[in-house]
Amino acid sequence: MNPRVLLIEDNAQNRYLATFLLERSGYTVMEAVDGRAGIELAAATRPDLILLDIQLPSMDGYAVARALRSQDATAGIPIIAVTSYAMVGDREKAMAAGCIGYIEKPIDPDTFVAEIARWRARIRGASE
Ligand code: MN
């Protein structure tokens, strides 16, 4: 079965690019445009992985990560933050909020999927 990724991202261009790259590599992608929709979709679909934008309207990525961690239905799903390189301190805050890793924006089409594969391998290694 294809790995299922939930992408929580408010920017349409970033959603388009990430989804295009992931689907091309055999991932099934579900999309949410804000934190609340993402939390609902995560609980309903239990994806293998969540890619979480930090700069989101109304509820930022840190709050979304904490909410996902706090409910039983989603607490076990690995979260990777997608953070802007310019936002110093984002990564540490993302890890503190319960993300297991981060990928830098802007999304690099040449390395994006490989980075996700690397995080997935780490997750599998950690759970064995
Ligand atoms: Mn954003």
- Residue pLDDT, tens place only, 14-30: 999 999 999 999 999 99
Residue 98 CA, ligand 1 centroid: distance in Å:
18
The phi, psi pair for 31, rounded to 5°, reads -120, 140
The phi, psi pair for 88, rounded to 5°, reads -65, 135
Residue 52 CA, ligand 1 centroid: distance in Å:
9
Mean pLDDT of 106-116: 95
CB neighbourhood size of 57 (10 A): 9
Give the model confidence (pLDDT) of 11-68 as tens digits: 999 999 999 999 999 999 999 999 999 999 999 999 999 999 999 999 999 999 999 9
Residue 14 CA, ligand 1 centroid: distance in Å:
8
